[in-house]
């Protein structure tokens, strides 16, 4: 009988605190709103080669920060670079070159992008193809960076222009 009472009490406490925890998590989820991505980190095999590709092919700017760390700047965004095997702590659980899949939006027409990529000796894997971006339909070209990361260069279509303006 005592054991039955203890088990009932424990189950009741679990239900009570579980419900309380769920309410708290729901309240926090409603309060916590992510606004935008500030930067991301790419782990790369060769920082110099990566900087060369992203600056010469994709038009980003190489920047140095902290104690000689490298990053790639475009617009108000930044890609921090970690050298494989010498990553900065804290780091991703399994940092590996070539494991990223990134989509960059450009206002340059994709036909011009394709000509530029060909002039730079960069193979186009696929495209132009239509995809769904974060704010609507996009037309995309796919390529790989020197580490094998999948890079998608995209334009929003006219129908997506309205949705982007509505979101802003």
> What span, in angstroms and rounded, lies between the C-alpha atoms of 122 and 87?
28
CA distances from 142 to 20, 102, 150, 160 (A): 47, 10, 7, 20
Residue among 62, 67, 152, 166 flagged as catalytic: 152
Placement of tokens 């939006």 in the chain: 105
Look up 158 and say whether it is catalytic. no
3-state secondary structure 98-167: CCCEEEEECCCCHHHHHHHHHHCCCCCCEEEEEEEECCEEEEEEEEECCCCCEEEEEEECHHHHHHHHHH
Tell me which residues are annotated as active site. 152
């Amino acid at each position: 009988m005592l054991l039955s009472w203890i088990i009932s009490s424990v189950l009741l406490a679990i239900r009570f605190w579980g419900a309380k925890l769920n309410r708290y998590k729901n309240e926090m989820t409603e309060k916590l709103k992510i606004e935008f991505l500030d930067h991301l980190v790419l782990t790369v095999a060769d920082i110099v080669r990566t900087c060369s590709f992203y600056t010469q092919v994709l038009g980003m700017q190489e920047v140095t920060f902290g104690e000689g760390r490298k990053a790639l700047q475009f617009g108000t965004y930044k890609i921090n670079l970690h050298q494989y095997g010498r990553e900065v702590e804290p780091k991703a659980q399994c940092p590996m070159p070539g494991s990223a899949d990134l989509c960059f939006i450009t206002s340059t027409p994709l036909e011009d992008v394709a000509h530029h990529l060909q002039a730079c000796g960069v193979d186009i894997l696929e495209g132009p193809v239509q995809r769904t971006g974060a704010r609507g339909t996009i037309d995309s070209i796919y390529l790989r960076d020197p580490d094998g990361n999948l890079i998608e260069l995209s334009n929003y279509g006219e129908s997506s222009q309205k949705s982007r303006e509505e979101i802003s």
